[in-house]
Structure 1
Amino acid sequence: MPLSPRAALLRDLVLGVLGTAAFLLDLGADLWAAGQYVLGGRYLWAALVLALLGLSSVALQFFSWVWLRADPAGLHGPQPPGRCLALLHLLQLGYLYRCLQGMWQGLLVWQQEAPSAFDLAYADFLSLDISMLRLFETFLETTPQLTLVLAIVLQSGRAEYFQCVGICTSFLGISWALLDYHQALRTCLPSKPPLGLGSSAIYFLWNLLLLWPRVLAVALFSALLPRYVALHFLSVWLVLLLWVWLQGTDFMPDPGSEWLYRATVAIILYFSWFNVSEGHTRGRATIHLVFLLSDSVLLVTTWVTHNTWLPSGIPLQIWLPVGGTCFLLGLALRLIYYRWLHPRCRWEPDQVDGARSLLPPERGQLPQNRRVTQLARNFFPKATDEAALPGKEEVNGGL
């Protein structure tokens, strides 16, 4: 049964609070792990944890600041002065400020008996930016941190209590970001179909099941040859960056920031699938899957030829079947999702080109987040009169 508008607003508000709490919990776990490494004299591990945390935070603040600067004057209403906003981002608090702003707007809308169309659209606008930033943070920091912790555990042969907490919080953060991104894309659809529990569960599972073998392969290689993992990442990342550039992305407001977006997408593609261009993407998705699978098999083969047992005594015969089973199950669920659960939609011209997205509110237009709407257009195929029903979709995916 569909939720009432007020209940849906309360649900979105609660999800926003939980998402912010998950981010803070993951951040606290990373800082705790870094502190424990320092106390144990393992300064290199601590430096790697802090480096990943710092680099992802800087990129996140940059995205947030560029988007705020690109939005038209007057769209966000009363805000802190520009210098205060710049200082917040310089202090690495811009993303947290956006989360608090989104929750405050959601609370204001929920308290209204009959919220205006603009207030509802503006709340969606803020939540979509937060969802996109959360996804970036997941693949710039959470997923690499998970890979690092697994490599450390595999290399040392034992898992400390704080490492177990870090692994759990990383999985929580990744899971939350994937579901939140799925909800954000559905919000951008012209027809606003409800986010079904079944489609959400399958979407979440196939992403997580395909992500886990990739993380395991990189972690095994990192545990065996830690000095070469950076070279491997850089080589694969450059190939993926070239691929993204050849697709002619147009996501950011200026060419300089567009390259940071392409670099970020290349990092996402290192671990998972992410669609950046419109059109039938079955071929691109297949190429990426084969490329990532070939690379993962090469990493595991390298590890097998040098070491057939983990330091913890867990035999290879257990780890590889688990990873292979996760991959096959994730691939099957991915095909099921795109075959029966991936909706088509009829994009109107003004929703396709984003012409309404950044108009100032004084011109009587509702705010529409062009950034995420563009990704939703890439993710959900355009329906035709003959193929408007589920089951006739082209594989045309985002994450």
Structure 2
Amino acid sequence: MAASFPCTRSCSSDCILNVLALVFFLSDLVSDVLAVASFYQEQAYVSMGALVFLLAGSSVLVQAFSWLWYSYQTGSEEQRSCLSTYAYMEKYFNNRRFLGALHVCQMGVFLRLVCMMEISWRNLTSNAPLTEGIAVYLTHDLNLLYLIEAFVESAPQLTFMTAVIAHRQDVEWVTGFKTLVSVGAIALSVVLYHRSMCSLHECKTRISWTSSLLYFLWNFLLIAPRVVAVALAASVLPPGAVAAHFLSLWLALFLWVWRQNTHFMDSHAGEWLYRATVALVWYFSWFDVSKGGSRGRSAVYHAVMAADIALLLTLWWWQSHGDPSLFGMTARGAVALEAASYAMGVLAKVAYDRLFRLKESVTVDPTPRSEEGGSEVDVVDFPVSVQSRPPAPPTAPQRRMDMLAEHFYS
């Protein structure tokens, strides 16, 4: 069985976050169907085809990661021992044919959601919450899938819908609803990933929602101008030019990932798929994938993205033939807002690094502690490198998440 470690987030907050994740999952599914139906009714078949391509491609990619991670661990004694606590989970996780069919039907992530709901509910109602083994790492796998889905599905869809709105200069309720759901899904996935990485480190002090809010803030301030700039350029440029821009930048980012010699997946093909996916994520947001020097790489990345945003806004202005407007806002105002948002995002990121990314090598008591009169809730804001690790070799999901946490705080 996997080495134990404290599941340092509160059971109640986990349950709330998982409920919200399920709500966003179902809302996103409904909004996808409504958006496709809306384009079909308008006979906008090109837009409908582009949206269906984004939906299908991103869903297949996320399901592929989910299936690969199940395959790396399915049938292990560690998994059977831990999941035997949850009878309903165990019979599904140990049935490879059922799992395979579910992933082919694009419902593998939904099974993970249901399983995490069961874990959260049982932990909430139990006097001895589960704090070790594969079930905890399944939670981290799910949070990573949220992050991947946010940037290979929600962010591209949000960009596409924003481009449609900018081109039409008319905010319809379906596109507006889809935009709001996409923003909410991206924000939630970022917060879940942040708190998931924090819970992998024993800490000296408990986490507040302040760090999560600041982490969300700097991501939002950097992602929003990126999405808007790509959408504005896509609303006036030919589809071929947009595709050429995306492919050229994605290829450069992919080569950068390859140069960092990542070793995240347990198979060679899976590793190349992971590198290609990281390049997709980097098209919208920064994501550490290798140890050490993350601040230098982050600075280079944000400088390149700032230059690319400036290029895209210049193309939008030039191709608009005059002084374009964005929902009543002048082009100068839109550009100034984009620049201000990106600059504030960089400053918020620097503030987060200064306040919440202290790096100290200390040995701490791994037992969750609570303040006087309080309960064991919401820990870890100040990540530390814990030098006393169990000698047992890590399992597949444990190795993946430990590697992500190490890169997250490098």
When normalised by structure 1's length, the TM-score is 0.87
Mapping of 1:2-151 within 5 angstroms?
A: 8-71=10-73, 73-77=76-80, 78-80=90-92, 81-115=95-129, 117-118=131-132, 121-151=133-163
Cα RMSD after superposing both structures: 2.0
Structure 1 residues 184-195: aligned runs within 5 Å: 184-191=196-203, 193-195=205-207
C-alpha distance in 1 between matches for 2:310 and 2:10? 44
The Cα offsets for residues 316-356 of structure 1, whole Å up to 9 and x where unpaired, read as 122112111111111111111111222321233647xx964
Match of 1:347 in 2: 386
Asked whether the equivalents of residues 237 and 319 of structure 2 are also in contact (C-alpha less than 8 Å), the reply is: no
1:317 maps to: 332
For 1:192 and 1:224, the matched residues in 2 are separated by 52
CA contact (8 A) 2:222 2:285 kept: yes
Q: In the TM superposition, what whole-angstrom CA distance separates every residue of 1:258-316 from its partner, at most 9, and x where no partner exists?
A: 11111110011111111100012121111111111111111111122222313755421
Distance of 2:140 and 2:286 partners within structure 1? 20
Per-residue deviation, 1:113: 1.6
CA distance in 1, matches of 2:205, 2:257: 30
Question: 2: distance between equivalents of 1:70 and 1:34?
Answer: 35
Say whether the 8 Å CA contact 1:252–1:258 is kept in structure 2. Answer: yes
Change (3 A) 1:163 1:117: closer
Deviation at 1:14, TM superposition (A): 1.8
Q: Give ranges in structure 2 of 5+ residues lacking alignment.
A: 1-6, 81-89, 360-383
CA contact (8 A) 1:175 1:208 kept: yes
| 8 Å contact from structure 2 (residues 325, 331) kept in 1 | yes
Contact 2:264 2:271 in 1 (8 A): yes
After superposition, the C-alpha distances for 1:214-244 in whole angstroms (9 at most, x for unaligned) are 1111011100104211111000000000000
**CA 122–328 in structure 1, closer or farther in 2 if over 3 Å, else same:** same
Provide the secondary structure at the position in 2 that maps to 1:76: helix
Tell me: CA distance 1:59–1:85, structure 2 relative to 1, closer, same or farther (3 Å): same
What one-letter code is carried by the residue in structure 1 that aligns with 2:122? L
8 Å Cα contact 2:137-2:401 kept in structure 1: no
SS for the counterpart of 1:230 is helix
1:110 offset after TM fit, Å?
A: 2.6
Q: CA deviation at 1:7?
A: 9.1
- Distance (Å, rounded) in 2 between the aligned partners of 1:378 and 1:6: 20
Alignment coverage as a number of residue pairs: 365
- Higher relative CO (CA 8 A, sep ≥ 6), structure 1 or 2? 2
Match of 2:52, as an amino acid? L
Q: Give the structure 1 partner of residue 285 of structure 2.
A: 272
Amino acid at match of 2:187: S
The residue number in structure 2 matching 1:364 is none
CA distance in 1, matches of 2:206, 2:114: 26
C-alpha distance in structure 1 between counterparts of 2:272 and 2:78, whole Å? 26
- Identify if the C-alpha distance between structure 1 residues 327 and 75 changes in structure 2 by more than 3 Å, giving closer, same or farther: same
SS in 2 for 1:264: helix
Q: Per-residue deviation at 1:192?
A: 7.4
Find the aligned partners of 1:306 and 1:117 in 2 and give their Cα distance.
Answer: 56
Q: Structure 1: any 5+ residue segments left out of the alignment?
A: 360-367, 382-399
The residue type equivalent to 1:334 in the other structure is K
What is the rounded CA distance, in whole Å, between the counterparts of 1:335 and 1:6 in structure 2?
Answer: 26
* Residue 268 of structure 2 is aligned to residue 255 of structure 1: yes
Q: Judge conservation of contact 1:6–1:110 (CA < 8 Å) in 2.
A: no
Once residues 30 and 358 of structure 2 are traced to their aligned partners in structure 1, the CA distance between those partners, rounded to angstroms, is 38
In structure 1, C-alpha distance between the alignment counterparts of 2:401 and 2:27, rounded to whole Å: 26
* Distance across 2 between alignment mates of 1:123 and 1:13: 14
Matched residue, 1:243: 256
Aligned partners of 2:331, 2:285: CA distance in 1, in Å? 24
Q: Following superposition of structure 1 onto structure 2, how do residues 289-308 of structure 1 map, counting pairs within 5 Å? A: 289-307=302-320, 308=323
Q: What is the CA-CA distance between 1:17 and the residue it aligns to?
A: 1.3
Query: Which residue of the other structure, out of 394, 398, 401, is the alignment partner of 1:357?
Result: 394
CA offsets, 1:114-137, max 9 Å, x none?
A: 24544xx44421210110000000
Give the corresponding residue for 1:394: none
Taking the aligned partners of 2:138 and 2:77, their CA distance within structure 1 comes to 14
- Structure 1 residue 369, shift from structure 2 partner: 2.5
SS in 2 for 1:89: helix
What CA distance in whole angstroms lies between the structure 2 residues aligned with 1:7 and 1:201? Answer: 16
Provide the residue aligned with 1:282 in structure 2.
295
Please say if residues 186 and 193 of structure 1, whose CA atoms lie closer than 8 Å, have aligned partners that are also in contact.
Answer: no
Amino acid at match of 1:378: H
Amino acid aligned to 1:97 = L
What CA distance in whole angstroms lies between the structure 2 residues aligned with 1:97 and 1:340?
37
2:392 aligned with 1:380, yes or no? no
